[in-house]
A and B are shown apart, each in its own frame.
Chain A
Amino acid sequence: MNDKIEIKERLRLLTVIREEALLRQRDIYPREEKVDTWPNLLVKELIALLIFTIVLVVWSLVQDAPLEELANPGLTPKEAKAPWYFVGLQELLVYFDPWIAGVVFPTIILVGLALIPYLDPDPIKGVGRYAIGKRKFATFCFIFGFTMWFALVAVGQYFRGPGWNFYLPWESWDSPKEVEVALTNFPLVAGIAFLACYYILGLGIPAVTFQNFFWRLGLIRYHITMILLMTMMLVPVKILLRQVFHIRYIVQTPWFNI
């Protein structure tokens, strides 16, 4: 084969523009060493493809997809569980009414996630590397939520039996669980006061203590960020209130309960 490049198509070159010139002004671009996609990236992709195809095949050889009896609306099974990735939300039903656990929280999670890039006030810190120490607050918030989601999934999946009672994974589901301890509610006024204080102090104290942080985010970012954070923290707070202080609702009204 000759050494000249064989170009079978006729190509017409109009102009050559440096990549950087096409990028918007405000985007910050590093000048960085580049390597050829072929073979550097493509070989890695091929290897990953092969390895994980094998993983999938082996996994499906050793584990059979479950198939139970024909669907029967008249026969409620001992335990009705959502698919595992939604079991965390189902676990939240212990602590919150369905409109919160099943509707409000998922909505807040999705909206909150989508807002992350707009709430983070720093345009460059930590980009392109695992520099967690440089973004302590951001990382804390994200990891906390991420871990909580999967912790709730684990509890719901492995520690809940009939009637959504708590069972250790090796405990037999036949041993009946004692009826739950009596739960109380906050009186209405106290409950509203509790929630109001929770949010006012949760937003107020950091604003005063960490004034740099407050001004860096600005009014709007700060409030959205902190409301999202405090709402996320409502989950552990509510778990604590229920498990330790046997409180069912913070606010109970004829229309809704929190």
Chain B
Amino acid sequence: MNIFIQMWRSLFRTGVTDSPVHRVFRVVVNFSLHLHPARVSKNGIKTTYTFCLGGLNVLFFVMTAITGGLLMIYYTPDVDKAYANMLDLENVIPFGTFLRNLHRVSAHAMVIAVSLHMLRVFLTASYKSPREFNWVIGVGLLLMTFLLSFTGYLLPWDQLSYWAVTVGTTMAENTPIVGAKGPFSVLGPEEDMRFILLGGTSIDQPTLIRFYFAHCVGLPGALVGLMALHFWRVRKAGGISRPL
């Protein structure tokens, strides 16, 4: 066999012949395409039906994950180093600014796309049986997306992040019953919700490391797990919703 043909065939396990069976085969045997069914309903792939929003969420997530991984190489979750790391990214590391920008922009895009995806699913009544629980999983994805963005906000350790997170975590202090300043509070400031969240009574090293873990490991892990469930449910519901 010609060496190039051999290489090509080792890469793509099916030939290039085109026939209905080949088309089906090509999707079914390909690992990265097996998330898809071999055949899809015509209504579901109309661009003006989904506006690609679910898929775009995946793209934006993958983009934040790749750029995030690269950023982790240059970042130390230490209050004495984090800000200096940011300055290095801006001034020393080649394409550091671009990397940071791309990470931030993809995260913003994801917050927007996840909201619009929810809107489209609602407007097409796609949450109705048998997709009720997939909508609930979606609400989980929505929450994870927001929390990911929020925890990432603290990491640059500049004035912007510090005070934005101050605003956010003050809310925890006001939780009824379990917040030190909330109505009917039973816990003091050294044992309440905010204390658990910050790892102390003010935003400091313990907070940074908590947010860092949540942002880089905990929340992305949860998001990937929920996404897998989400896609599996889309398939099990018989594909994308369509007129009944």
Binding site for B on A (CB under 8 A): 1, 3, 5-6, 8-9, 19, 23-24, 26-30, 32-42, 44-45, 48-49, 52-53, 55-57, 59-61, 63-73, 75-77, 80-83, 85-86, 89-90, 97-99, 101-104, 110, 113-114, 116-118, 120, 122-132, 135, 139, 142, 146, 255-256
Total contacts A-B at CB 8 Å: 263
**CB–CB B83/A71 < 8 A:** yes
B187 at the interface (CB under 8 A from A): no
Within 8 A of A (CB), among B153-177: 153, 156-164, 166-168, 170-176
Residue from the set A3, A98, A118, A139 with the largest chain B CB neighbour count within 10 Å: A98
**Closest residue of chain B to A120, judged by CB?**
B128
Show 17 residue pairs from A and B whose CB-CB distance is below 8 angstroms, ordered by the A residue: A5-B21, A19-B238, A32-B41, A40-B40, A55-B109, A60-B98, A76-B163, A81-B163, A98-B173, A99-B176, A99-B182, A101-B171, A102-B170, A102-B171, A117-B133, A127-B125, A255-B184
**CB–CB B163/A27 < 8 A:** no
Within 8 A of A (CB), among B22-54: 22-27, 29, 33, 36-43, 45, 47, 52
**Closest residue of chain B to A134, judged by CB?**
B125
**CB–CB B244/A28 < 8 A:** yes
Q: Bound complex: CA of A85 vs CA of B83, how far in Å?
A: 24
**CB–CB B124/A129 < 8 A:** yes
On chain A, the residues within 8 Å of B98 by CB distance are 60-61
On chain B, the residues within 8 Å of A124 by CB distance are 128, 244
Beyond contacts A39-B23, A49-B55, A129-B243: 6 other A-B pairs, Cβ-Cβ < 8 A, are A29-B238, A65-B100, A70-B159, A71-B161, A103-B179, A131-B125
Q: Bound complex: CA of A141 vs CA of B130, how far in Å?
A: 22
Within 8 A of A (CB), among B118-172: 118-119, 122-133, 135-136, 139, 142-143, 146, 149-150, 153, 156-164, 166-168, 170-172
On chain A, the residues within 8 Å of B214 by CB distance are none
On chain A, the residues within 8 Å of B131 by CB distance are 117
Q: Bound complex: CA of A40 vs CA of B79, how far in Å?
A: 51
**Closest residue of chain B to A89, judged by CB?**
B171
**CB–CB B15/A40 < 8 A:** no
**CB–CB A36/B24 < 8 A:** yes
Once A61-B98, A66-B160 are accepted as A-B contacts, the answer to whether A37 and B27 lie under 8 Å apart by CB is yes
**CB–CB B159/A83 < 8 A:** no
On chain B, the residues within 8 Å of A116 by CB distance are 122, 127, 135
Q: Bound complex: CA of A19 vs CA of B55, how far in Å?
A: 24
B59 at the interface (CB under 8 A from A): yes
On chain A, the residues within 8 Å of B163 by CB distance are 76-77, 80-81
